[in-house]
Structure 1
């Protein structure tokens, strides 16, 4: 399938699959990268439906580093556990070193 024929959710999944291990990005950063400047909520909807698609949805958080999508994961603290297993520090549902672990999808353009 050619990239121009992918629907928005598929494009979101392709970007999310590029997030490096131990790094995170935000719903808004993905939306902006895809040219949907006010599409953060749509990225969130895509992440909600991504669990059977081999997408590291746990690496996508809100713009302040909050684990706002955690209730879409099985288990009480699965999103946090997955992030912590990658070395990301999470306290009270917020990534502590957010600026250090934040990954911008625009880095894909420099590769």
Structure 2
């Protein structure tokens, strides 16, 4: 397989189809569970493209049915968005409503809450 690290979009499908792959994975994350950006990218068939997951989630319209709040960074933290609208706090609140607990430092336990799908397929 060719190394595309220096050309991150060289082997990727179009933006809309890439986003669709990502959204299909995110929709599978159950309530009370989380996945990391890198995990979602891998499951969507886009290994080493965690940043694209962030771009796709950022592109979601308000009130989307895609559970974007279930995607966290590899440290188990919510990632603040550059828009300054407090989405990281909203994300934390939404996860807490699903039973996810955070430490005083704002970290959730990936060992406890990370989703481990039985199959990596993005479609059912």
Q: What is aligned with 1:88?
A: 100
CA RMSD of aligned residues (A): 2.7
Number of residue pairs matched by the alignment: 106
| Separation of aligned partners in 1, 2:28 and 2:69 | 13
1:65 maps to 2:76: yes
1:85 deviates by 0.6
Cα offset, 1:12, TM superposition: 0.7
For structure 2, the residue ranges without an aligned partner over 5 or more in a row are 1-13
Q: Deviation string for 1:46-68 (max 9, x for gaps)?
A: 11122433111110001121111
Q: Counting helix residues as a fraction of each chain, which structure ranks higher?
A: 1
Aligned pairs for 1:1-111 (under 5 A) are: 7-52=17-62, 53-69=64-80, 75=86, 77-91=89-103, 92-95=105-108, 97-104=109-116, 106-109=117-120
Partner Cα separation in structure 1 for residue 83 and residue 69 of structure 2: 10
Q: What is the SS of the residue equivalent to 2:31?
A: coil
What is the CA–CA distance in structure 2 between the aligned matches of 1:108 and 1:73, rounded to whole Å?
36
Q: Flag the structure with larger Rg.
A: 2
Question: Structure 1, residues 12-56: CA drift from partner, whole Å, max 9, x if none?
Answer: 111111110000001100111122211000001111122433111
Report the CA distance shift for 1:14/1:38 in structure 2 as closer, same or farther (over 3 A). Answer: same
Asked if structure 1 preserves the Cα contact closer than 8 Å seen for 2:80 and 2:86, the reply is no
